[in-house]
Structure 1
Amino acid sequence: MTQPEIRPIRDAADHEAALDRIASLMAAEPGTAEGDELDVLVTLVEAYESRNHTIEAADPVALIEHLMEARALTRADLRPVLGSSGRVSEILNRRRPLTIAMIRGLHERFGLPAEVLIREYPLAG
């Protein structure tokens, strides 16, 4: 088995490539080669971002939308965790907040950080 090539993140292109690779590794099991690669890449990205970007606190809905884009998920893929298609729409359109059960489900099924999902966020009128 060949070891992945892990390099320092020096510029925006390196950063984007590392983020793409992280997205592809999100389902990696801890303690595996892919899980170790994920841990190292996350550490490198965090170091790069702390030096080069001020990052606003992630919004739970924005995080879910990023997950969907990164993993090419549809709204239907969220139904087992969020409920009916109507409930998924309410969440993504910011008409209803996430419940504790939804937060647990998103964390367990997709590995999203619970500390981001529990943050308050603005709801639509």
Structure 2
Amino acid sequence: MSKLYTFEEVSKHKTREDLWMIIDNKVYDITAFVDEHPGGEEVLIDEGARDATGPFEDVGHSPDARELLVKYYVGEVDLASAPVKVTSANASGASNDQPQGNPLRIIIPLLIVLGYIYYRFYS
């Protein structure tokens, strides 16, 4: 019989050095996989320490990715326990509650388009 973990127990494992995740009611210790994840470590850390079934399914992971999970399996989640809201911390330790993004990803393409329009019509 596999070990049962409550949502609260899983929620305590939310750092890069100790990261757990729930997928399909199974608990995985993915700490050793953080550096290998093709989508980057940030995605795992953001979704870690909670039920990540939805995001895992949304990405459309391959059968190989599902097979890889077996290696990190540590037990089952106790469905009688109450889910815990986990707030991730970024590198500075601040909460991720506010939207993040670099405004340059909008400004630079806008400048390129404006430059093209200027070149096309005023040159």
**TM-score computed with the length of structure 2 as normaliser:** 0.28
Higher normalized contact order (CA 8 Å, seq sep 6+, divided by chain length): 2
Q: Which has more strand, going by share of residues?
A: 2
